[in-house]
Structure 1
């Protein structure tokens, strides 16, 4: 048996468990589970992204942003983390930075959801400018 393979599998299993907890809105338990996974494998960008999602569920935006930053630092091609980062930035009103993150996501994967989210920022900026 390859111990590294088992090591990764344990982190992957914990990641899956954390995602299931997030789907049940059990964000505190999910965060604990993601932290356990990170203790096993701290270079797994998906776990950092999912950890950030749990932190968003707990309204801990600054920590969530740091976790998204870690995810994209580990894998700059991880479009989902760029999208989630943009979504968080838009929610806190950092529209310029949100657009930059959406642009990175779109450059990697032109998912219609990403395109719509970026267009929504433009609409919000227009509404604020008109107010």
Structure 2
């Protein structure tokens, strides 16, 4: 299946192709698309965030965290990347760091999903502290 016209190799088009591939759980191919997008524009914070999402799909947590870090370094106002970073840190069991990332996301956009995720992590952190 051709997800892009052969002549459309812009960073935005490659990023969109990667997102489509991620939705189809084709994480290796998605990663290739995000890498191509970033080769054209290494300041494209959305592509860094999406690259991290693909890396999460490949269970490459350390690489994913580095990509989320790059996304938020490029755009500290990027609440979705802060949220995704928090979610990854929570999955890694780094609950304190996850809460910090969720707080950044919530400070930028008080999305109910962000608030719920933070509450879940707070409960997990409290349960671990009592064991």
- Using the size of structure 2 for normalisation, the TM-score is 0.92
Aligned twin of 2:119: 119
SS in 2 for 1:54: helix
- Counterparts of 1:125 and 1:77, CA distance in 2: 26
Aligned twin of 1:58: 58
- The unaligned stretches of length 5 or more in structure 2 are 1-8
In the TM superposition, what whole-angstrom CA distance separates every residue of 1:79-128 from its partner, at most 9, and x where no partner exists? 00000000000000001100000000000000000000000011101221
- Counterparts of 2:34 and 2:48, CA distance in 1: 8
Root-mean-square deviation (Å): 0.9
After TM superposition, where is structure 1 displaced by more than 6 Å over at least 4 residues in a row? none
Aligned twin of 1:89: 89
Q: Comparing both structures, which one devotes a greater share of its residues to helix?
A: 1
Aligned twin of 2:19: 19
- The unaligned stretches of length 5 or more in structure 1 are 1-8
Aligned twin of 1:76: 76
